[in-house]
Chain A
Amino acid sequence: MDSEIKNQLQDSLGGNDDSKDDITCSSKSSPTMAASSVRERSTSPEGPPPPLPPRPNTLNLLDEGASSSRTLRQSTQSALQSRATTAVSLTDIASHDGGKESYPARGLPGTLRAKASLSHLASPRGSDTADSASVKSSVPQTDFGEVENVFSDFVATESGPMQHDSTGLLQFPEFQADDVDDDFTEEFEPVGDVGDEGENEVLENWKSKRKHYLILSAAGKPIWTRHGDGGLISTYIGVIQTIISFYEDSQDRLNSFTAGDTKFVIVAKGPLYLVAISRILESETQLKLQLEALYMQILSTLTLPSLTHLFSVRPSTDLKRPLQGSETLLSTLADSFTKGSPSTLLSALECLKIRKAHRQTINNALLKTRTNSLLYGLVVAGGRLVSVVRPRKHSLHPGDLQLIFNMVFEAEAVKAGGGESWIPVCLPGFNSSGYLYMYVSFVDLREDAGNVADDTATKEESVAVILISTDKERFFELQEMRNSFIEQLEKDGSLKIMKEAIDKGRPKTTDIVPGTVLHHFLYKSRGNVQFTMSSYEPDFSSVSRRRRLMSTYNNLHASIHSKHAHVRVHHCVSQSSTSLAWVTPVFQLYCVAGPNANRNALAHSASKIVQWVQQEEERLFIIGGAVF
Chain B
Amino acid sequence: MSESTSTNTPKPSSSVKLVLLGEAAVGKSSLVLRFVNNDFQENKEPTIGAAFLTQKCSLPTRTIKFEIWDTAGQERFASLAPMYYRNAQAALVVYDVTKPSSLTKAKHWVAELQRQASPGIVIALVGNKLDLTNDGNEASGEPQADGEQQPPAATADGDDAAGEPQEEQDATPGDARKVSTREASSYADEEGLLFFETSAKTGVNVVEVFTAIANAIPESSLKSGRGAGAGTGQTTLGGGRPAEDSRVNLGDRSTATAKEGCAC
Contact = CB atoms under 8 A, between A and B. Distances in A.
A423 interface: yes
B242 interface: no
B74 A324 contact: yes
A424 to B, nearest CB: 6
Interface string B24-54: 1000010011001100010011111111111
A575 interface: no
A407 B45 CA distance: 12
Interface stretch (A53-61, A344-352, A467-475): A467-475
Given A321-B75, A324-B74, A474-B237, A419 B48 contact: no
Contacts of A326: 46, 48
Contacts of B77: 424
Nearest to A411: B45
Given A413-B48, A420-B51, A325 B234 contact: no
A472 B45 contact: no
A417 B83 contact: no
A438 B50 CA distance: 10
B257 interface: no
A476 interface: yes
A302 interface: yes
Given A322-B76, A324-B74, A325-B74, A421 B239 contact: no
A422 B36 CA distance: 18
Contacts of A586: none
A418 interface: yes
Chain A contact residues (Cβ within 8 angstroms of B): what range?
20 to 34
B233 A417 contact: no
Contacts of A476: 232-237
Contacts of A418: 33, 36-37, 51, 53
A2 interface: no
B44 A416 contact: yes
A419 B47 contact: no
Contact of A475 (B37, B52, B70): B52
Interface in B45-91: 45-54, 68, 70, 72-77, 80, 83
Interface string A267-303: 0000000000000000000000000000000000110
Given A474-B236, A476-B233, A417 B75 contact: no
Interface of B: 24, 29, 32-33, 36-37, 41, 44-54, 68, 70, 72-77, 80, 83, 232-239
Interface of A: 301-302, 321-322, 324-326, 328-329, 407, 411-414, 416-425, 438, 454, 472-477, 479-480
Given A324-B74, A474-B237, 18 more contacts: A302-B76, A322-B75, A324-B24, A325-B24, A407-B48, A417-B51, A417-B70, A418-B33, A418-B36, A419-B52, A421-B49, A422-B51, A422-B52, A423-B48, A473-B237, A473-B238, A477-B236, A480-B234
